[in-house]
Amino acid sequence: METSAAVESSATMSAFEVSKRPETAKLVLNSPKPPSLREELVGTVGKAFRPRASSGGRQPRWAWALTVLQCVFPVMQWGRTYNLKAFKSDVMAGLTLASLGIPQSIGYANLAKLDPQYGLYTSVVPPLIYAVMGTSREIAIGPVAVVSLLLSSMIQNVVDPATDPVAYRSIVFTVTFLAGVFQVSFGLFRGGSIRSSFWLAAISPLLSVILSTTAVYATRADKHGVKIIQSVHAGVNPSSAKQINLNGPHIAECAKIAIICAVIALTEAIAVGRSFASIRGYKLDGNKEMIAMGFSNVAGSLSSCYVATGSFSRTAVNFSAGARSTVSNIVMSITVFIALELFMKFLYYTPMAVLASIILSALPGLIDIKEACNIWKVDKMDFLTCLGAFVGVLFGSVEIGLAVALAISFAKIIIQSLRPQVEILGRIQGTNIFCSIRQYPVACRIPTVQTIRIDTSFLCFINATFIKERVIEWVREEVETSVEKARERVQSVVIDMSRLTALEEIHKELVTLGIQMAIAGPGWQTVQKMKLAQVVDRLGEDWIFLTVGEAVEACLTAHKGAAMEC
């Protein structure tokens, strides 16, 4: 729908035949009351898990409950058609995934300033939770480099992991718990070809660990200055529930770090999931992904895990290995669990340099120069935001980079709100369509009627003065240039405000100038706000139209002598 304001001098009002207005315009004022804020919030939360309506009518209560459970746990839906062939593919993908995930998890734990086993813990519990709640078939859940670095760089400013590792781990688990809660909240409130030799790249990190560990053990290189992992605690994930402290002195810092980690983790996971979902030709539910990721991290925080998300490198391996469902995550989780139980003692002589090389091998994929060039071509302001984030992280920290990006984004929004684009509209010949005469030079202007569009979704005291001054300035210019041609003199102004929700300020200004305003096709929320603010009473129901064309026709009819030339 379009919202327009047609303004006309009061001297010609008596000539206007309001009784001949289209009956369809009455639909505007008779529209139902829009949902309240509470109803919108409840509806928003409900949409996260609301099942699709049954085409066969109302469902029995048990069937409705089953449908809701299938929405919450997608595994109950696709599990009914799961077959042995898909299971074989998922087992192979899961084993391949584990061969990459085990050394990566150990390396990322070191990046997060945690003992190696905590990286492996993070590859056990979160993938299991995601497997029953997530909607992506290919995404691989576990620790990632960006989040690991983010945690260590921000938490070590609060507690030094070298001097107080217990307090450091407590903050890590608290941040993970809060990040999971934030992710669940976000979800509830709705914010080429692959070479057949891919498996060689997938298992190369594991081969590097095995060969380097064997070499160090055989040559006793640790006696000659080569740093090694040394002891890695074996066994199942211990409980960390008692280490989560929501009443501690650092809870404010934990919340700040958690929301940053939650946003970055979700951004990476959803971007990765949607990329591979588009290749496979199915739709990824972003809200359910947020909820699944959130519950994965909440459960992980209770079992000695830190923030987990979808890894691009492991997801690419999972996809290339032929994963058919999230069962590959379950297979990977079980494989890592077995490794924790049986093989940790063999990692004693693993050199730290190999873990560092595994981390560095993942870094080139974080810099996408081609995409940066594409952003520059499409939107210079978006490129400036990207550049600000890059420079902030490079010369400051991840936190500073995010702050710079957010500041630039908000500045862009504020600038666009303060000085919105104001365009003169014309009519496409032979149609009832009005568009910018700058964008479409073939559009012709209507004699005696000035039609203006204001491109903003937010009209308030911040930009109301600018908009009013611009409109009045154009009207006066038109009047001055046509002062000697009374027939072509501007007598009406149509303001296309299809994106505006506030009209009272403009109405007051026009009243002081002795000009009558008419509204055309206001939106659902706009009608209710006009009624509550008594704008409809002051304006009069006879001056509310359904379309811009009706408003223009009304103005021309009121002038009696004017006619539409296009």
Same domain? For 311 and 398 the reply is no
Question: How many CA atoms does the CB half-sphere of 458 hold within 13 Å?
Answer: 10
Strands of 78-210 (E only): list them. 141-142
Number of Cβ atoms within 10 Å of the Cβ of 221: 16
- The answer to whether 149 and 111 have CB atoms below 8 angstroms apart is yes
- The answer to whether 141 and 105 have CB atoms below 8 angstroms apart is no
Quickly tell me which residue has 């520059």 as its tokens: 376
Same domain? For 321 and 391 the reply is no
- The answer to whether 397 and 156 have CB atoms below 8 angstroms apart is no
On whether residue 38 sits in a domain, the answer given is: no
Query: What is the number of helices (H) and of strands (E) in the chain?
Result: 23, 9
Same domain? For 425 and 398 the reply is no
Same domain? For 494 and 529 the reply is yes
Same domain? For 352 and 475 the reply is no
Same domain? For 408 and 293 the reply is no
On whether residue 244 sits in a domain, the answer given is: yes
Same domain? For 186 and 329 the reply is yes
**Residue 350 pLDDT:** 82
Buried b (16+ CB within 10 A) or exposed e, 333-367: bbbbbebbeeebeebebbbeebbeebbebbeeeee
For the chain (length 566 residues), average pLDDT per consecutive 10?
43 41 59 63 57 55 73 82 89 88 88 91 94 90 89 90 92 94 82 44 68 80 77 83 89 91 87 84 84 93 93 84 89 92 82 77 69 86 88 82 85 78 82 82 78 68 72 73 60 58 63 68 71 75 76 71 52
On whether residue 57 sits in a domain, the answer given is: no
Quickly tell me which residue has 């058919």 as its tokens: 324
On whether residue 221 sits in a domain, the answer given is: yes
Of 520, 518, 541, the residue nearest 531 (C-alpha): 541
Quickly tell me which residue has 């509470």 as its tokens: 38
Same domain? For 332 and 392 the reply is no
Measured torsion, CA atoms of residues 339, 345, 351, 352, in degrees rounded to the nearest 10 = 70
The DSSP 8-state label assigned to residue 34 in this structure reads: P
**Residue 4 pLDDT:** 45
The domain tally of the chain equals: 3
Domain boundary, last residue among 388, 418, 448? 418
Domain boundary, last residue among 354, 384, 418? 418
The DSSP 8-state label assigned to residue 444 in this structure reads: B
Residues 6+ apart with CB under 8 A from 533: 504
- The answer to whether 175 and 154 have CB atoms below 8 angstroms apart is no
Residue 519: its H or E element: strand 515-520
On whether residue 76 sits in a domain, the answer given is: no
Same domain? For 361 and 372 the reply is no
- Residues paired with 4 in a beta bridge: 496, 520
Rounded-to-integer distance, Cα 140 and Cα 142, Å: 7
On whether residue 356 sits in a domain, the answer given is: yes
Same domain? For 353 and 452 the reply is no
Which structural domain, as residue segments, surrounds residue 215? Answer: 91-365
On whether residue 548 sits in a domain, the answer given is: yes
Rounded-to-integer distance, Cα 55 and Cα 198, Å: 45
Same domain? For 334 and 375 the reply is no
On whether residue 440 sits in a domain, the answer given is: yes
Residues 6+ apart with CB under 8 A from 463: 417, 418, 419, 420, 456
Domain boundary, last residue among 365, 388, 406? 365
**Residue 360 pLDDT:** 73
Residues 6+ apart with CB under 8 A from 36: none
Structure-token pair, residue 176: 């993970």
**Residue 8 pLDDT:** 44
Same domain? For 320 and 339 the reply is yes
- The answer to whether 72 and 115 have CB atoms below 8 angstroms apart is no
Q: Is 526 exposed, middle or buried (0-12, 13-18, 19+ CB in 10 A)?
A: buried
**Residue 124 pLDDT:** 93
**Residue 15 pLDDT:** 40
Residue 456 sits in a domain of what CATH number? 3.30.750.24
Number of Cβ atoms within 10 Å of the Cβ of 436: 16
